[in-house]
Chain A
Amino acid sequence: MAVTHKLIQTVSVTAATVSSIDFNSIPQTYTDLVLVVSMRTNAAGVSDYVAISFNSSTASFTFKPVYGDGTSALSANYTTSPSSRIISGAVGNTATANVFSSGTTYIPNYTSSNNKSYSSDYAREQNATGTELGFGAGIWANTAAITSISLTSWNGSSIMQYSSASLYGIKNS
Protein backbone atom coordinates (compact mmCIF):
# COMPACT_ATOMS: atom_id res chain seq x y z
CA MET A 1 0.00 0.00 0.00
CA ALA A 2 1.43 3.31 -1.06
CA VAL A 3 2.00 5.65 1.82
CA THR A 4 3.44 8.57 -0.11
CA HIS A 5 2.46 10.32 -3.29
CA LYS A 6 4.95 13.10 -3.74
CA LEU A 7 5.26 15.60 -6.54
CA ILE A 8 8.76 15.31 -7.98
CA GLN A 9 8.41 18.03 -10.61
CA THR A 10 5.73 19.76 -12.61
CA VAL A 11 6.33 21.83 -15.71
CA SER A 12 4.25 23.87 -18.11
CA VAL A 13 5.22 24.93 -21.61
CA THR A 14 5.69 28.70 -21.69
CA ALA A 15 7.19 29.00 -25.17
CA ALA A 16 4.93 28.95 -28.23
CA THR A 17 5.99 25.36 -28.92
CA VAL A 18 8.62 22.86 -27.83
CA SER A 19 9.64 19.57 -29.40
CA SER A 20 9.50 17.58 -26.17
CA ILE A 21 9.11 17.71 -22.41
CA ASP A 22 11.96 15.88 -20.69
CA PHE A 23 12.35 14.81 -17.08
CA ASN A 24 16.02 14.12 -16.37
CA SER A 25 17.82 12.87 -13.26
CA ILE A 26 14.71 11.17 -11.91
CA PRO A 27 15.37 10.22 -8.27
CA GLN A 28 15.76 6.50 -7.72
CA THR A 29 14.31 6.62 -4.23
CA TYR A 30 10.67 5.82 -4.96
CA THR A 31 8.91 2.54 -5.69
CA ASP A 32 6.63 3.71 -8.51
CA LEU A 33 6.12 6.77 -10.69
CA VAL A 34 2.94 8.51 -11.76
CA LEU A 35 3.01 10.79 -14.79
CA VAL A 36 0.15 13.22 -15.41
CA VAL A 37 0.09 14.91 -18.81
CA SER A 38 -2.08 17.58 -20.37
CA MET A 39 -1.18 18.27 -23.98
CA ARG A 40 -2.14 20.09 -27.12
CA THR A 41 0.05 19.92 -30.24
CA ASN A 42 0.23 21.82 -33.49
CA ALA A 43 -0.77 18.70 -35.44
CA ALA A 44 -2.82 19.58 -38.51
CA GLY A 45 -5.98 17.88 -37.29
CA VAL A 46 -8.13 17.40 -34.23
CA SER A 47 -6.21 14.50 -32.79
CA ASP A 48 -2.74 13.48 -31.80
CA TYR A 49 -1.21 11.29 -29.10
CA VAL A 50 1.49 11.61 -26.48
CA ALA A 51 4.47 9.32 -27.08
CA ILE A 52 6.90 8.41 -24.31
CA SER A 53 10.50 7.30 -24.28
CA PHE A 54 12.61 6.16 -21.35
CA ASN A 55 16.35 6.84 -21.05
CA SER A 56 16.31 8.23 -24.62
CA SER A 57 15.23 4.83 -25.92
CA THR A 58 12.39 4.55 -28.43
CA ALA A 59 12.88 0.82 -29.00
CA SER A 60 11.26 -2.26 -27.44
CA PHE A 61 7.94 -0.66 -26.54
CA THR A 62 4.52 -2.32 -26.86
CA PHE A 63 1.18 -0.69 -26.10
CA LYS A 64 -2.24 -2.34 -26.06
CA PRO A 65 -5.06 0.20 -25.70
CA VAL A 66 -8.80 -0.13 -25.53
CA TYR A 67 -10.48 3.07 -26.60
CA GLY A 68 -13.75 4.58 -27.69
CA ASP A 69 -14.83 7.68 -29.57
CA GLY A 70 -18.52 7.74 -28.68
CA THR A 71 -19.40 5.66 -31.71
CA SER A 72 -17.11 2.66 -31.69
CA ALA A 73 -15.17 0.73 -29.08
CA LEU A 74 -11.82 -0.39 -30.43
CA SER A 75 -8.64 -2.09 -29.34
CA ALA A 76 -5.16 -2.34 -30.76
CA ASN A 77 -1.79 -3.97 -30.28
CA TYR A 78 0.94 -1.49 -31.18
CA THR A 79 4.40 -2.95 -31.55
CA THR A 80 5.98 -0.41 -33.88
CA SER A 81 7.21 3.04 -32.84
CA PRO A 82 5.82 5.63 -32.53
CA SER A 83 2.39 4.04 -31.86
CA SER A 84 4.00 1.51 -29.51
CA ARG A 85 5.05 4.47 -27.32
CA ILE A 86 1.60 6.07 -26.96
CA ILE A 87 0.55 6.76 -23.38
CA SER A 88 -2.23 9.28 -23.89
CA GLY A 89 -4.31 11.15 -26.39
CA ALA A 90 -3.33 14.71 -27.25
CA VAL A 91 -5.47 17.41 -28.79
CA GLY A 92 -4.49 18.57 -32.27
CA ASN A 93 -4.42 22.18 -33.35
CA THR A 94 -7.75 22.27 -35.19
CA ALA A 95 -9.63 20.98 -32.17
CA THR A 96 -11.83 23.23 -30.07
CA ALA A 97 -9.79 26.22 -28.91
CA ASN A 98 -8.14 26.13 -25.49
CA VAL A 99 -8.85 22.44 -25.00
CA PHE A 100 -6.15 20.06 -23.81
CA SER A 101 -6.06 16.31 -23.31
CA SER A 102 -5.51 14.68 -19.94
CA GLY A 103 -3.78 11.41 -19.21
CA THR A 104 -2.25 9.52 -16.32
CA THR A 105 0.40 6.83 -16.56
CA TYR A 106 1.39 4.57 -13.67
CA ILE A 107 4.91 3.11 -13.85
CA PRO A 108 5.53 0.55 -11.11
CA ASN A 109 8.98 -0.65 -10.05
CA TYR A 110 10.79 1.80 -12.30
CA THR A 111 14.18 1.09 -10.71
CA SER A 112 13.95 -2.69 -10.99
CA SER A 113 16.10 -4.85 -13.24
CA ASN A 114 13.03 -6.32 -14.92
CA ASN A 115 11.21 -5.09 -18.01
CA LYS A 116 9.11 -2.03 -17.23
CA SER A 117 5.35 -2.35 -17.49
CA TYR A 118 2.98 0.56 -17.14
CA SER A 119 -0.69 1.42 -17.51
CA SER A 120 -2.35 4.54 -18.85
CA ASP A 121 -5.76 6.11 -19.01
CA TYR A 122 -6.60 9.23 -20.93
CA ALA A 123 -9.24 11.50 -22.37
CA ARG A 124 -8.93 13.62 -25.46
CA GLU A 125 -11.71 16.07 -24.94
CA GLN A 126 -13.19 18.57 -27.32
CA ASN A 127 -16.57 19.85 -28.34
CA ALA A 128 -16.58 18.11 -31.73
CA THR A 129 -15.53 14.88 -33.41
CA GLY A 130 -12.17 13.52 -32.40
CA THR A 131 -13.03 12.93 -28.77
CA GLU A 132 -11.49 9.76 -27.44
CA LEU A 133 -11.39 8.01 -24.10
CA GLY A 134 -8.99 5.14 -23.59
CA PHE A 135 -6.84 3.06 -21.35
CA GLY A 136 -4.06 0.64 -22.06
CA ALA A 137 -1.19 -1.51 -20.93
CA GLY A 138 2.36 -0.89 -22.05
CA ILE A 139 5.76 -2.42 -21.60
CA TRP A 140 9.30 -1.29 -22.23
CA ALA A 141 11.30 -4.47 -22.68
CA ASN A 142 14.41 -3.11 -21.08
CA THR A 143 15.93 -3.95 -17.69
CA ALA A 144 17.58 -0.59 -17.05
CA ALA A 145 16.26 1.60 -14.27
CA ILE A 146 14.31 4.55 -15.62
CA THR A 147 16.34 7.70 -15.05
CA SER A 148 14.76 9.97 -17.67
CA ILE A 149 11.42 10.35 -19.42
CA SER A 150 10.76 12.22 -22.63
CA LEU A 151 7.31 13.16 -23.92
CA THR A 152 6.74 14.02 -27.57
CA SER A 153 3.95 14.27 -30.08
CA TRP A 154 3.07 10.92 -31.63
CA ASN A 155 3.17 12.23 -35.19
CA GLY A 156 6.17 14.52 -34.86
CA SER A 157 4.28 17.75 -34.24
CA SER A 158 5.32 20.29 -31.64
CA ILE A 159 3.89 20.60 -28.16
CA MET A 160 1.95 23.82 -27.69
CA GLN A 161 2.01 26.47 -25.01
CA TYR A 162 0.25 25.67 -21.70
CA SER A 163 0.69 21.94 -22.12
CA SER A 164 1.93 20.51 -18.85
CA ALA A 165 3.39 17.41 -17.27
CA SER A 166 3.76 16.40 -13.65
CA LEU A 167 5.83 13.53 -12.26
CA TYR A 168 4.98 12.00 -8.91
CA GLY A 169 6.85 9.45 -6.83
CA ILE A 170 5.11 6.68 -4.88
CA LYS A 171 6.72 4.86 -1.97
CA ASN A 172 5.49 1.58 -0.58
CA SER A 173 7.07 2.16 2.78
Chain B
Amino acid sequence: MKKLVVDCSTGIATEVELTAEEVAQREADAQAWATEQAAREAAEVAKVRAKASAESKLKALGLTDAEISALVG
Protein backbone atom coordinates (compact mmCIF):
# COMPACT_ATOMS: atom_id res chain seq x y z
CA MET B 1 0.00 0.00 0.00
CA LYS B 2 1.24 3.46 -0.92
CA LYS B 3 0.43 6.99 0.15
CA LEU B 4 0.37 10.04 -2.09
CA VAL B 5 2.74 12.69 -0.73
CA VAL B 6 2.85 16.26 -2.02
CA ASP B 7 5.85 18.35 -1.05
CA CYS B 8 4.47 21.88 -1.03
CA SER B 9 7.97 23.38 -1.13
CA THR B 10 8.78 21.70 -4.46
CA GLY B 11 5.36 20.89 -5.89
CA ILE B 12 6.44 17.30 -6.43
CA ALA B 13 3.91 14.55 -5.74
CA THR B 14 5.19 11.04 -5.16
CA GLU B 15 3.72 7.72 -4.21
CA VAL B 16 5.56 6.37 -1.21
CA GLU B 17 5.36 2.86 0.18
CA LEU B 18 4.08 2.81 3.75
CA THR B 19 6.61 1.99 6.44
CA ALA B 20 5.96 -0.83 8.90
CA GLU B 21 5.05 1.78 11.51
CA GLU B 22 2.56 3.42 9.15
CA VAL B 23 0.99 0.07 8.31
CA ALA B 24 0.66 -0.62 12.03
CA GLN B 25 -0.87 2.82 12.57
CA ARG B 26 -3.32 2.23 9.73
CA GLU B 27 -4.38 -1.05 11.33
CA ALA B 28 -4.69 0.65 14.71
CA ASP B 29 -6.83 3.39 13.14
CA ALA B 30 -9.10 0.79 11.54
CA GLN B 31 -9.43 -0.94 14.90
CA ALA B 32 -10.24 2.38 16.56
CA TRP B 33 -12.95 2.93 13.97
CA ALA B 34 -14.40 -0.54 14.62
CA THR B 35 -14.37 0.06 18.36
CA GLU B 36 -16.01 3.45 17.97
CA GLN B 37 -18.65 2.02 15.65
CA ALA B 38 -19.43 -0.79 18.06
CA ALA B 39 -19.85 1.68 20.91
CA ARG B 40 -22.10 3.89 18.78
CA GLU B 41 -24.25 0.97 17.67
CA ALA B 42 -24.55 -0.23 21.27
CA ALA B 43 -25.64 3.25 22.32
CA GLU B 44 -28.23 3.31 19.53
CA VAL B 45 -29.61 -0.07 20.59
CA ALA B 46 -29.78 1.09 24.22
CA LYS B 47 -31.60 4.25 23.13
CA VAL B 48 -34.17 2.29 21.10
CA ARG B 49 -34.75 -0.09 23.99
CA ALA B 50 -35.13 2.77 26.47
CA LYS B 51 -37.67 4.44 24.18
CA ALA B 52 -39.67 1.23 23.84
CA SER B 53 -39.57 0.75 27.61
CA ALA B 54 -40.72 4.32 28.21
CA GLU B 55 -43.59 3.95 25.74
CA SER B 56 -44.66 0.71 27.39
CA LYS B 57 -44.74 2.37 30.79
CA LEU B 58 -46.72 5.32 29.44
CA LYS B 59 -49.23 2.91 27.94
CA ALA B 60 -49.54 1.15 31.30
CA LEU B 61 -50.41 4.53 32.78
CA GLY B 62 -53.34 4.77 30.38
CA LEU B 63 -52.01 6.99 27.62
CA THR B 64 -53.24 6.24 24.10
CA ASP B 65 -50.87 5.58 21.19
CA ALA B 66 -51.69 9.03 19.80
CA GLU B 67 -50.87 10.67 23.12
CA ILE B 68 -47.61 8.75 23.40
CA SER B 69 -46.72 9.66 19.84
CA ALA B 70 -47.41 13.31 20.60
CA LEU B 71 -45.04 13.09 23.54
CA VAL B 72 -42.13 11.15 22.10
CA GLY B 73 -42.54 11.71 18.36
B-binding residues in A (CB < 8 A): 8-9, 11, 13, 15, 17-27, 58, 80-83, 152, 154-156, 158-159, 167
CA distance A44 to B54 in the complex (A): 36
| Per-residue interface assignment for chain B, residues 2 to 18, with 1 indicating a CB less than 8 Å from any chain A CB and 0 otherwise | 11111111110101001
CA distance A13 to B14 in the complex (A): 10
User: Chain A: which residue is nearest B26 at the CB level?
Assistant: A19
Q: Are A23 and B15 in contact, with the CB atoms below 8 A?
A: no
29 A-B contacts (beta carbon < 8 Å): A8-B8, A9-B6, A9-B8, A9-B13, A11-B4, A11-B13, A18-B2, A18-B3, A19-B1, A19-B2, A19-B3, A21-B4, A21-B6, A22-B3, A22-B4, A23-B8, A24-B5, A25-B9, A25-B10, A26-B8, A27-B9, A58-B29, A80-B32, A154-B33, A155-B37, A156-B27, A156-B33, A158-B1, A159-B4
How many residues of B are in contact with the other chain, CB < 8 A? Answer: 23
User: Chain B: which residue is nearest A22 at the CB level?
Assistant: B5
Are A15 and B26 CB-contacts (below 8 A) given A21-B4, A27-B9? no
Which residues from B are CB-within-8-Å of A26?
8
Q: Is the interface of B mostly helix, strand, loop or mixed?
A: mixed
CA distance A92 to B6 in the complex (A): 24
CA distance A171 to B7 in the complex (A): 21
Which residues from A are CB-within-8-Å of B15?
15, 18
Interface residue B41 (Cβ < 8 Å from any Cβ of A): no
Q: Are A155 and B33 in contact, with the CB atoms below 8 A?
A: yes
Which residues from A are CB-within-8-Å of B6?
9, 11, 21-24
Q: Are A13 and B8 in contact, with the CB atoms below 8 A?
A: no
Least distance between B13 CB and chain A CB atoms (Å): 5
Are A25 and B8 CB-contacts (below 8 A) given A11-B13, A15-B2, A83-B36? yes
Least distance between B58 CB and chain A CB atoms (Å): 23
Which residues from B are CB-within-8-Å of A15?
2, 4, 15
Interface residue B24 (Cβ < 8 Å from any Cβ of A): no
| Per-residue interface assignment for chain B, residues 27 to 71, with 1 indicating a CB less than 8 Å from any chain A CB and 0 otherwise | 101101100110000000000000000000000000000000000
Least distance between B34 CB and chain A CB atoms (Å): 8
User: Chain B: which residue is nearest A20 at the CB level?
Assistant: B3
